[in-house]
């Protein structure tokens, strides 16, 4: 090895050793004290930037998003709201940097309350509107109506939210159990999957009118239907025709629906204004 190479190698080794010494010096004077841990994670010697990254990783692990109260669609049982947990990143970092040696710390957290709670749902126990229509037609038509009614039952609408028939019921396809039934199309009666669900929409529409909610979208049939008075029907098609109304109350609404004694019925419950 010639002298020039030796000098260069010695220089780089010196730089490397100096960097190691500088890093140790910096961690000793500016880093986290020895033995300090947070939520069981050892943070000894970490510098502020590294501490921030560690706390952010811990925050992802321990934070919890709040869950709003809801209704079980099958049973109508109230699903309780759950508070969330948020992490105060900056406060946790300051706590770590100020900690004494061998100190075990916890993240600084605070509760985040859900937007909607179960007590509000419990108060929605007053019948604001009730409407029913006679159930008639083929077995296929009755099957379609039964499927749509089951989708509608126990629908919870918070203040300001919009009820959309198509979003709640979904596409009326054979894969989802819907069968061919009579529909009114351009003034004539034809067979199509989901025939009969317009009676469900019309029953809901009349209940919504009685409840005094704001109707956003409603389409009449091209000719009168026999299950509701003229002008009180609602035609729906998953592709383009929907029935929508908004909850203009200050409290939640619950839409109940079912079939009994040869009739389909819709009940809208709430606390009332």
**How many domains does one find in the chain?**
2
Domain match, 77 and 51 both: yes
Indicate the residue among 61, 93, 119 that finishes a domain.
Answer: 119
73/5: higher pLDDT? 73
Domain match, 228 and 115 both: no
Report pLDDT for 6: 44
Separation CA 71–CA 79 (nearest Å)? 6
Taking 60 as the threshold, does the pLDDT of residue 218 lie above it? yes
Indicate the residue among 119, 141, 158 that finishes a domain.
Answer: 119
Taking 70 as the threshold, does the pLDDT of residue 20 lie above it? no
Report yes or no on 19 lying in a domain. Answer: no
CA dist 32 → 45, 50, 60, 61, 213 (Å): 5, 10, 21, 21, 60
pLDDT digits (tens, 9 = 90+) for 130-173: 999 999 888 889 999 999 999 999 999 999 999 999 999 999 98
Report pLDDT for 4: 57
Report pLDDT for 11: 43
Report yes or no on 248 lying in a domain. Answer: yes
pLDDT digits (tens, 9 = 90+) for 169-207: 999 988 999 987 665 554 445 556 567 899 999 999 999
Domain match, 149 and 189 both: yes
Separation CA 239–CA 166 (nearest Å)? 9
List the domain range (segments joined by +) for residue 36: 31-119
Domain match, 94 and 146 both: no
Report yes or no on 13 lying in a domain. Answer: no
Domain match, 85 and 135 both: no
**Cα 19 to chain center, whole Å?**
51
Taking 50 as the threshold, does the pLDDT of residue 119 lie above it? yes
Report yes or no on 24 lying in a domain. Answer: no
Report yes or no on 2 lying in a domain. Answer: no
| Angle CA 137–142–146, to nearest 5 | 155
Average pLDDT over residues 65-87: 95
Report pLDDT for 18: 43
pLDDT digits (tens, 9 = 90+) for 83-118: 999 999 999 999 999 999 999 999 999 999 999 999
Taking 60 as the threshold, does the pLDDT of residue 29 lie above it? no
Report pLDDT for 195: 79
Average pLDDT over residues 1-25: 51
Report pLDDT for 247: 97
Average pLDDT over residues 6-27: 51
Report pLDDT for 192: 62
Domain match, 111 and 130 both: no
For the chain, give the mean pLDDT: 87
Domain match, 54 and 153 both: no
Domain match, 183 and 145 both: yes
Exposure string for 202-230, b = 16+ CB within 10 A, e = fewer: bbbbbbbeebebeeeebbebeeebebbee
Residue 160 · residue 213 · CB < 8 Å: no
Report yes or no on 6 lying in a domain. Answer: no
Domain match, 57 and 128 both: no
Domain match, 142 and 38 both: no
Domain match, 113 and 128 both: no
pTM to 2 decimal places:
0.80
Taking 60 as the threshold, does the pLDDT of residue 45 lie above it? yes
Report yes or no on 58 lying in a domain. Answer: yes
71/30: higher pLDDT? 71
Domain match, 141 and 80 both: no
């Amino acid at each position: 090895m010639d002298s020039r190479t030796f000098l260069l190698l010695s220089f780089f080794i010196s730089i490397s050793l100096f960097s190691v010494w500088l890093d140790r010096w910096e961690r000793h004077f500016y880093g986290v004290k020895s033995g300090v841990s947070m939520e069981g994670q050892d943070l000894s010697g970490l510098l502020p930037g590294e501490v921030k990254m560690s706390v952010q990783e811990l925050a992802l692990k321990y934070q919890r998003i709040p869950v709003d109260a809801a209704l079980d669609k099958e049973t109508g049982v109230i699903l309780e709201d759950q508070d969330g947990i948020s992490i105060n990143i900056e406060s946790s970092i300051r706590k770590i940097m100020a900690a004494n040696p061998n100190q075990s710390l916890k993240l600084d957290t605070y509760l985040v309350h859900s937007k909607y709670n179960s007590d509000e749902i419990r108060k929605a126990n007053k019948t604001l509107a009730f409407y029913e229509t006679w159930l008639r037609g083929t077995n296929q038509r009755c099957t379609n109506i039964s499927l749509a009614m089951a989708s509608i039952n126990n629908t919870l609408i918070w203040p300001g939210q919009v009820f959309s028939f198509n979003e709640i019921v979904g596409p009326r396809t054979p894969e989802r159990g819907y069968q061919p039934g009579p529909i009114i199309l351009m003034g004539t009666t034809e067979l199509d999957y989901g025939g009969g669900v317009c009676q469900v929409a019309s029953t809901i529409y009349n209940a919504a009118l009685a409840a005094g909610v704001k109707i956003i979208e409603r389409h009449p049939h091209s000719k009168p239907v026999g299950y509701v008075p003229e002008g009180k029907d609602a035609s729906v098609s998953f592709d383009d025709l929907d029935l929508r109304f908004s909850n203009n109350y200050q409290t939640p609404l619950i839409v109940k629906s079912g079939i009994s004694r040869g009739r389909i019925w819709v009940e809208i419950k709430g606390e009332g204004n």
